[in-house]
Structure 1
Amino acid sequence: MSKSANPTKQQLEQLALQGLSFADDHVSDVFSIKDVSDRLGISYSYFYHSFADYMGEPFWHYVKRHRLELSAGLLRHSGHSIGVIADLCGYATTAAFSKAFKQHFKESPKEFRRIAELPNEKRTIHIIETITTVAGTDIFGNFFQYDRGDKVHLPDSMLYYSLLSRGQNPIGEMIAKMNQYYSIFSKILGQVEVPQAKVITGTLDSVPVTDYEKISIFAGVSIPLTAIAAHHHMDNTFPYLMKKRIPGGHFLRLPVPMDFATAGIPMYNFINQNCKEGNFKMSGNHFFMSLNGTQSCEIYIPLLRKHY
Structure 2
Amino acid sequence: MSPLLTKEQLENFALQGLSYADDHVSDPFSIKDVSERLGISYSYFYHNFTECMGEPFWHYVKRHRLELAAGLLRHSGYNIGEISDHCGYATTAAFSKAFKQHFKESPKDFRRIIILPNEKRTLQITEGITAAIGSEAFRGLFNYERCEKMRMPDSILYYTLISRGQDPVAEMIARMTQHYTLFKKMQTLFDLEQSRIITGTLDAVPVTDYEKLSMFAGILIPATATAAHAQLRQNFSYLMRKRISGGNYLKLPVPMDFATAGIPMYNFISMNCKEGVFKMSGNHFFISLNGPNYSEIFIPLLKKHY
> Which TM-score applies when normalising by structure 1?
0.97
Residue 277 (str. 1) matches residue 279 (str. 2): no
SS of residue matched to 1:290: strand
Large movers: runs of 4+ above 3 Å: none
SS of residue matched to 1:300: strand
Q: Distance in 2 between matches of 1:109 and 1:87?
A: 14
Identify unmatched segments of 5+ residues in structure 2: none
Output one character per residue of 1:168-214: Cα deviation in whole Å (capped at 9) or x when no partner. 01011101110111111011122333443100111100000000000
Output one character per residue of 1:19-45: Cα deviation in whole Å (capped at 9) or x when no partner. 100000000001000000000000000
SS of residue matched to 1:42: coil
Matching residue of 1:217 = 215
Q: Distance in 1 between matches of 2:223 and 2:108?
A: 36
Q: Distance in 2 between matches of 1:42 and 1:197?
A: 32
Worse-matched range after superposition: 190-199 or 244-253: 190-199
Q: Shift of residue 166 of structure 1?
A: 1.2
Matching residue of 2:225 = 227
Match of 2:129 among 128, 131, 142: 131
Q: Distance in 2 between matches of 1:181 and 1:45?
A: 33
Match of 1:31 among 29, 32, 35: 29
Matching residue of 2:42 = 44
Q: Shift of residue 15 of structure 1?
A: 1.1
Q: Distance in 2 between matches of 1:290 and 1:136?
A: 20
Matching residue of 2:77 = 79
Residue pair 2:135, 2:264 contacting (<8 A) in 1 also: no
Matches within 5 A, 1:151-300: 151-300=149-298
Q: Distance in 1 between matches of 2:277 and 2:97?
A: 31
Output one character per residue of 1:49-106: Cα deviation in whole Å (capped at 9) or x when no partner. 0000011100000000000000000000000011010000000110000000000000
Q: Distance in 1 between matches of 2:59 and 2:283?
A: 21
Q: Shift of residue 135 of structure 1?
A: 5.7
Worse-matched range after superposition: 155-164 or 188-197: 188-197
Q: Distance in 1 between matches of 2:41 and 2:222?
A: 34
Residue pair 2:255, 2:295 contacting (<8 A) in 1 also: yes
Q: Distance in 2 between matches of 1:142 and 1:202?
A: 22
> Over aligned residues, Cα RMSD in angstroms?
1.0
Identify unmatched segments of 5+ residues in structure 1: none
Q: Distance in 1 between matches of 2:295 and 2:304?
A: 26
Matching residue of 2:101 = 103
